[in-house]
Structure 1
Amino acid sequence: MRKIIIISFVFTSLCSWSQNQKENDSISSDTVQNIKYSYKQLIIPGVLIGYGFWGIESGQIKSFNHQIREEITENIDRKFSVDDFSRYVPALSVYTLNAFGVKGKNNIRDRSVILGTSLIIMTGTVFALKSITKAERPDGTSNDSFPSGHTAVAFAGAEFLYQEYKHQSIWYGVAGYAVAAGTGIFRMYNNRHWLTDVAAGAGIGILSTKVAYWMNPYLTRKLFGNKENNSTSFLAPTYDGKNFAVNYIKTF
């Protein structure tokens, strides 16, 4: 299967931002350092990833996968491609909310580095596991079913939205996770993934963002030192099961 490399350049100007947004940009990266390290944060993603791997070898879990598939796809006349777009909604919501004056936890530079780091970790992990496991998709079209890349992107964004806006309202995170869960359900509805693929993808997405937050203080010091800078750029690779894309994003 041929992989298509797409390089896209996104330039966003912050010159005309409102006073509220400027105040938000003045928040230092010290806020990220308030993220606490706790093994409890690994429980949920660990369980999801573990269940996904368990399903690769367990006949009982495989049987359950087929039962879920039959129930979800029963009497389906058409497919809906909403999952191709909904996977990006949680992450994009962070920037949309900020544009409308709802302050997130971190400034534009730090949150962009965090998102870029998360996507790099997530995409690398998903791509590697697809190449190693070679699990067949439910519709039999290819052998790159495990884990679900769409679901991983959606849950990475949902955790990103939760971390940035949980101090404003927990409902932002709830909404993000609802969209991410819907993305996973539609991947099964469209007969593209098994339940275990979706579970593992969700765990990888959540864990990737958590790791990105833990790494950010170190990356910020290495990339920018201790000086505040309104300009930043990063590479954000994505993989949708067929095509691999590398997005170069620059804010100034």
Structure 2
Amino acid sequence: MDSLTGSPKIHGQSSLLKKLVVPGLLTGTALVFNNSSFEMELQPKVNRNLSTNIDDYIRFAPLAGMYIADGLGIKAENHWFDQTKNAAFSLLLTQLITTSLKVNIDKERPNGANNEAFPSGHTSLAFASATILYEEFKNTEPLLAYSGYAFALTTAYLRMAKNKHWFSDVILGSAVGMAVTKLVYHFDYLFTWNPFKNSEKLVIAPNFDYTGAGLYLAIRF
């Protein structure tokens, strides 16, 4: 059920294909440029040998923005529990797929640290987070909805500027994060259980950082 219109959501095949157009184009781009002379020549130009760890945090900034917006009473597409449920599915599946690709593709990082370059895990989670924010506020607060992608793009840039990833790594990472989240939201009607549907003032949100994950409680006024 669409929380904004009160009408059932449409989950057609054509609708799903439209949602996957951008991730599909990004995947194709990543495959074209993977191990190409273009990305080999680009990397030294982008590399700044940065030592900052800010990319460990800003990849989850869109999620923080979503819960802050909830706390301020800004209208979202879903109840906070459904938001958290979709976010958990999206981030978990994104991490699993990204890790599996890293291990099986076995591409060396530009800094030579290991062979887990392709795709970028930080970037995939950043774009998953940004797409969650987009899906929740695209119909009510478009500026807020798109703002998460600024953090995702910054994360992607920092991964290259820190010499951790090649161009194609971050492009494929963005595709994975977006595709997984689009799929989770497309099929969210299959997981409608919500024990907090009538508890509008209580918000339980996940908290992520480079050390792990947890939960925090908030009261919405």
State the TM bucket, normalised to the shorter chain: 0.7 to 0.9
1:46 pairs, out of 24, 33, 38, with: 24
Change (3 A) 1:35 1:110: farther
Whether contact under 8 Å (2:90, 2:180) holds in the other structure is yes
Whether contact under 8 Å (2:120, 2:170) holds in the other structure is yes
Whether contact under 8 Å (2:123, 2:156) holds in the other structure is yes
Return the offset for 1:193. Answer: 0.4
Return the offset for 1:175. Answer: 1.4
Whether contact under 8 Å (2:16, 2:186) holds in the other structure is no
User: Counterpart of 1:43 in structure 2: which amino acid?
Assistant: V
Whether contact under 8 Å (1:135, 1:144) holds in the other structure is yes
Whether contact under 8 Å (1:126, 1:149) holds in the other structure is yes
Pairing 1:112–2:84 present: yes
Partner of residue 163, structure 2: 191
> Structure 2 length normalisation: TM-score?
0.82
**Cα distance in 2 for residues equivalent to 1:111 and 1:135:** 34
Listed as ranges, the matches of 1:131-150 within 5 Å are: 131-150=103-122
Secondary structure of the 1:38 match is helix
**Cα distance in 2 for residues equivalent to 1:87 and 1:32:** 32
What is the Cα-based RMSD across aligned positions, in Å? 3.1
Listed as ranges, the matches of 1:22-37 within 5 Å are: 33=9, 37=15
Partner of residue 123, structure 2: 151
**Cα distance in 2 for residues equivalent to 1:107 and 1:182:** 29
Pairing 1:207–2:185 present: no
Return the offset for 1:239. Answer: 11
User: Counterpart of 1:39 in structure 2: which amino acid?
Assistant: L
Return the offset for 1:251. Answer: 6.8
Whether contact under 8 Å (1:87, 1:151) holds in the other structure is yes
List runs of 5+ in structure 2 lacking aligned partners: none
Partner of residue 191, structure 2: 219
Change (3 A) 1:70 1:147: same
Pairing 1:70–2:48 present: no
**Cα distance in 2 for residues equivalent to 1:108 and 1:122:** 21
**Cα distance in 1 for residues equivalent to 2:49 and 2:127:** 28
Return the offset for 1:216. Answer: 1.1
Return the offset for 1:50. Answer: 2.5
Change (3 A) 1:92 1:210: same
Structure 1 window deviating more from structure 2 (46-55 vs 106-115): it is 46-55
Partner of residue 96, structure 2: 124
Q: Aligned residues: percent identity?
A: 28
Change (3 A) 1:250 1:212: farther
Change (3 A) 1:145 1:80: same
User: Counterpart of 1:188 in structure 2: which amino acid?
Assistant: M
Secondary structure of the 1:33 match is coil
User: Counterpart of 1:33 in structure 2: which amino acid?
Assistant: K
Pairing 1:175–2:147 present: yes
**Cα distance in 1 for residues equivalent to 2:95 and 2:24:** 18
**Cα distance in 2 for residues equivalent to 1:104 and 1:163:** 9
> Structure 1 length normalisation: TM-score?
0.73
List runs of 5+ in structure 1 lacking aligned partners: 1-26
Partner of residue 61, structure 2: 89
Structure 1 window deviating more from structure 2 (79-88 vs 157-166): it is 79-88
More RCO (CA 8 Å, sep 6+): 1
